[in-house]
Chain A
Amino acid sequence: MAVTDVTPNGPGSAHDDSAPKVALLNNPEIRGWLFQVVLAVVVAYLAYSGWKNMNANLQAAGIASGWAFLNNNAGFAISQSLIEYNQASSTYGRVYLVGLINTLVVAVIGVILATIIGFLIGVARLSKNWMVSRLAAVYVESLRNIPLLLQIFIWYFGVLRLLPQPRDGLDFGFFGLLNNRGYFAPKPVWGDGAIYTLYAFIAACVIAWGIGRWARARQMATGQIFPAFWVGFAVIVLLPVIVFLAAGAPLTWDVPVAGGFRPKGGMTIIPEYIAMLVALSTYTATYIAEIVRAGILAVSKGQTEAAHALGLRSGPTLRLVIIPQALRIIIPPLTNQYLNLTKNSSLAVAIAYPELTSVFAGTALNQTGQAVEIISLTMLTYLTISLLTSAFMNWYNSRVALVER
């Protein structure tokens, strides 16, 4: 840089036919690059020195590090695991998986429930029925203005106090048992040949999809409407049922039996899960309801009037005209709510629901003491889940987005 000529050559000072001579440092393009390179170097150096410092400090303080602990025996019990987990022989790596799956189970079901409740409440708030719209408004305004952690506690201890002790728990016969240790549901035990029912289900889904495509193409071409939804639905229900019966109905139920401290057999839905799911979905649904309301209101009234003028009834108007346009506005903020719900699931640590933060960044962290590894892995996991959710929602958004011609 120092080799350049530094004669002051301001713009307009000379009218040579050659380009004006400017100091390299004053060349906007080079300046821009220079500052970006400096910034990148500074950021990289900060990250590097932080990393070096941390390693040096960990070593100086005699704190164990490395990932070997993931293969060590964990040795503690977890109250809910959807994959095989044995406290005697399972490793910390397994604990991580169990926690991750528990997080996903509450987040995914929570997202689905919150979306359904949110859409219903959002539409209800626009209802012309005074009572319905007022009730929806009260729901939204009260639940979204109370801290989530408080709501989790209310649901959890509310659920616990409402449900009876195991000794005088509710017995629904075949449909299981309900007490404050959870809901003990009958567990399906699949026999030989049950796998064909699954194949039949997948095949039925493909067929239904094909029918839908064909019906759409035919409607475009001829204007004739084929009841694709009901036919597809019938295929999806009937085909697996027929295959199931043909295979000799290979299904038995493991029904829980009351007795001792807790019922034996069946599968358990623990109260922590129920409380977490209800709290997360009802809370997030308030935001989704407002997003849905905003989306619908944003579609101009003229669209409805135009649809009516063309002879569409209110059902098809909503389904074919209003919702597709509203979705464009709804999807981006909806993604935020899905991400919030997933991250909020880490509050479960307060009520002993064994999700990632609780069992991995909690118990496992304490038993091993390897805070740096465990916390970074946990953060990375939440980051990955969130980025995947965003990626999926962005893909969906680009599909429903306005196609400009």
Chain B
Amino acid sequence: MKKLMLTGVLGVVTLAIAGSAAASAATLDDVKAKGFVQCGVSQGLPGFSNPDANGNWSGMDVDLCRAVAAAIFGNGDAVKFTPLSAKERFTALQSGEIDLLSRNTTWTMSRDTQLGLNFAGVNYYDGQGFMIRTSMNINSALELSGASICTNTGTTTELNVADYFRANNMEYELVAFEKSDEVVAAYDAGRCDVYTTDQSGLYAQRLKLTNPGEHKVLPEIISKEPLGPVVRQGDDQWFNIVKWAHIATVNAEELGITQANVDEMAAGDNPAAKRLLGTEGEFGAGIGLSNDWAANIIKAVGNYGEIFNRNVGPDTPLGIARGINALWSKGGLQYGPPVR
């Protein structure tokens, strides 16, 4: 009996040591082995990552997860989603709980260099804004001195507000909640004069208020918020796959490839489109995928323009204009390096 217990203890010790030494580098192999991509998303932000009544996720960040899954498996549904708070997100990625973080996360230098993470591109250029009640008759953020401001903890938002109010010599009271739902509820109950977060988020959360029509978003944008997918540092192959999954959607829009005409374009005459869609050249091999990786992405989620319009565009409840998220050729910032 004693001997048995001792063996048991030693077994546990061995396991603990072996288990903690894991942290493998080849995410693609792991993903292929388990058959799906584990993707970290928000806990519900309309237009970016939001579950419907049946638990189906949709949004721009969700489509990026689906694009990666489509590139690997040819199936945009080979994704499992992990809803994460702003606070949990980096730890979840660092610890290997998720393969990819696609959760309206701002690319900053400290996050890129000190957390052991890499940002794989920008799928939405955002900026921080303010929402207030129309009845307050305020037209500029500069009139907000002394206001109470509601926001989320663990975001760049808190620091941006601090910088903005300090730079303009204004006072404020910050009320920071753990979850967005509580921020919305507190703002709705009148705890705060102002709700601040990324402007896209303001448009999205406004839909959850009792009377969305009574609130407006102020014109000022007080920060640069390039939102993009994040992966662990030290796995360049996986980094490349996520990076190029996004670039493929941007290039597809530029080349006029849509969900509807992807097969036509693959068989067509445009050499750039044929290289992207894999009917010319061997580009898939370079990132460890099949040659039709990009074609699969477009079939699953469409090009960048389609993703934008379907989730946040003018015809959705959010009604956000393309603005700086238009293609570079149309005056925006979305620019895909060529497939060559």
Contacts and interface: CB of A to CB of B under 8 A. Distances in A.
B146 A260 contact: yes
Interface string B1-19: 0100010011001001100
Contacts, number: 138
Contacts of B243: none
A232 B147 CA distance: 48
B186 A366 contact: no
Interface residues of A, number: 48
Contact of A63 (B20, B94, B166, B182): B94
A123 interface: no
Contacts of B115: 63-64, 369
B234 A60 contact: yes
B260 interface: no
Contact of A87 (B91, B145, B166): B166
A39 B9 CA distance: 9
A35 B2 CA distance: 10
A350 B182 contact: yes
A157 B189 contact: yes
B233 A75 contact: no
A358 B176 contact: yes
A49 interface: yes
A161 B116 CA distance: 44
Contact of B233 (A35, A61, A363): A61
Interface stretch (A76-84, A200-208, A308-316, A332-340): A76-84
Given A61-B94, A358-B153, A160 B178 contact: no
B154 A75 contact: no
Interface in A313-367: 349-352, 354, 358, 362-363, 365-367
B35 to A, nearest CB: 26
Contacts of B23: 57, 60-61
Contacts of A362: 87, 153-154, 176, 178
B32 interface: no
Contacts of A62: 113-114, 116, 233-234
A61 B162 contact: no
A262 B153 CA distance: 23
Nearest to A76: B158
Contacts of A253: none
Contacts of B163: 75
A90 to B, nearest CB: 11
B177 A53 contact: no
A76 B113 CA distance: 21
A389 interface: no
Nearest to B185: A157
A357 to B, nearest CB: 9
Contact of A366 (B16, B153, B179): B153
Interface stretch (B54-62, B122-130, B167-175, B217-225): B167-175
B182 A352 contact: yes
B111 interface: yes
B191 A160 contact: yes
B144 to A, nearest CB: 8
B154 A365 contact: yes
Nearest to A263: B146
Given A366-B86, A369-B110, A78 B13 contact: no
A290 interface: no
Nearest to B110: A369
Nearest to B91: A371
A360 to B, nearest CB: 11
Nearest to B173: A79
B148 interface: yes
Interface string A185-202: 000000000000000000
Interface string B232-272: 11100000000000000000000000000000000000000
A230 interface: no
A77 B174 contact: yes
B159 interface: yes
Nearest to B143: A261
Contact of A180 (B94, B159, B190): B190
A219 to B, nearest CB: 56
Interface in B87-114: 87, 90-91, 94, 110-111, 113-114
A75 B159 contact: yes
B198 interface: no
Contacts of B153: 349, 352, 358, 362-363, 366
Q: List the 4 closest pairs (A to B, CB-CB), nearest first.
A: A366-B154, A61-B116, A77-B174, A261-B146
21 contacts: A46-B16, A61-B116, A77-B173, A79-B176, A88-B166, A180-B190, A181-B173, A260-B146, A272-B175, A350-B179, A351-B177, A351-B186, A352-B150, A352-B182, A358-B153, A358-B176, A362-B87, A362-B176, A363-B154, A366-B153, A366-B155
